[in-house]
Amino acid sequence: MAYFTTVAANCRPFARLEPHRVVLIVIGLVLITAAAVFMRWDWLADYYMLAIAGLWRSIWILIVTCVFGFVLALPLGLAQVVGPSWLSLPAKAFCTVIRGTPLLLQIWLLYYGLGSLFPQYPWIRESDIWPLVRQAWPYAVLALTLSFAGYVGEVMRGAFAGVPSGQLEAGRAFGMNRWKLFRRVWLPQAIHKALPTLAGETVMQLKSTPLVATITVVDLYAVSARVRQDTLVIYEPLLLLALTYMVLTGLLVWIFSRIEARIPVRVG
C-alpha cells in the first residue's frame, strides 16, 4: 500500500542502503561500464589536451563573470532598495530587461552588434584596445557578467530589504558611519540571507557558459562540438560533457554548502 506512505518516509537518510537501492546502483554501474566498453572513446587520445584547455576556459569565464557580476549586482540591489528614483528606476529597468530576454540574444547583440560597430572607427583600430575588441571572449565575458548582475541584482534587492531595520539602527546607535554600517552589518547579513539563492544563480551561470561557444569562444562545449564535427561521433562527447558539467555542478554546490556551514546559525 504505497499510497499511504507519509511524508516522513521521504525523509529517510539517503545513506541507508536498502536492497532496491543496491540493485539500482548495480544497474547504474553496469550501464556506465557498458558505455565505457561498447561506445567509441578512441577520439579521446587526440582531444584531451584541447578538452582540458576548454575546461579551464569554462571555469575561468565562470569565476570572472560571477565575481564581476556580483560586484555590479550590489549597487543594482542597493539602488532599488534605498536609491532615489533616478537611480532605482534605471536599476530596475536593467534587471527587468536582462531577466526578460534570452541570454543567447544578449550575447549575440553584444558580439555582432558592438563587434560590427567598433571596426568602423579608425581611432579604435589604432588604439591599444583594438587587439582586445577583435577577439570574441571579451564580449562573452561582458554579456555573461551583465546577465549575472541582472539576476543577482534582483536577488540582492530582496536580501538588502530583508535585513531587519533594527540591525541597521543598532549599528547607527554605535556611531558607525554609512560605509562601516554597510560593510559590517548590512552586507554580511544580506549575503547570509541570499546565500542559498546565490548558490542556485551560480549553478545557473555555470550552465549558461556553453552559450559562449556560439560566438567562437573555445570552451569545453566548443571542444565537444568540434569532436562531433571532426569524427562524426555524436553521443560520446556529449555524454562526457554532461558528466563533466554534473561534476562541476556538484563541486559548486559542495563549495557553497561549505560556505553556508561556516556561518553560525542560531536555532531558536
Partner 1 sequence: MTDSVFLSLAQTSMFELLAPTPPGWGGNLVRGFINSIGIGVGAFALGLVIGIGGAFGKLYGGPVRRDLLQVYTTLIRAVPELVLILLIYFAVPDLINRLLETLGYGRIDVSGPMAGIVALGFVQGAYATEVLRGAILAVPQGQIEAGRAFGMNPRMLMRRITLPAMLPFAIPGLANLWLVAFKGTALLAVVGFNELTLETRQAAGTTKAYFTFFMAAGVLYLLLTLISNVLIGRVEHWARRGRQPIAESR
Binding region for partner 1 (CB under 8 A) = 2-3, 5, 7, 10, 18, 20-21, 24, 96-97, 99-106, 108-109, 112-113, 116-117, 120-122, 203, 206-211, 214, 221, 234-235, 238-239, 241-242, 245-246, 249-250
Q: How far is the CB of 264 from partner 1 (least distance, A)?
A: 25
- In this complex, which beta carbon is closest to partner 1, that of residue 101 or of residue 135? 101
CB of 95 to partner 1, least distance (A): 12
> Shortest gap between Cβ of 61 and partner 1 (angstroms)?
13
The set of cell numbers assigned to 102 is 534570452
CB 223 within 8 A of CB 209: no
For residue 158, the minimal CB distance to partner 1 (Å) is 13
The residue (of 68 and 108) whose beta carbon lies closer to partner 1 is 108
**Nearer CB in complex with partner 1: 99/134:** 99
Q: How far is the CB of 183 from partner 1 (least distance, A)?
A: 28
Residue placing its CB nearer to partner 1 in the complex, 18 or 128: 18
Cβ closer to partner 1: 117 or 170?
Answer: 117
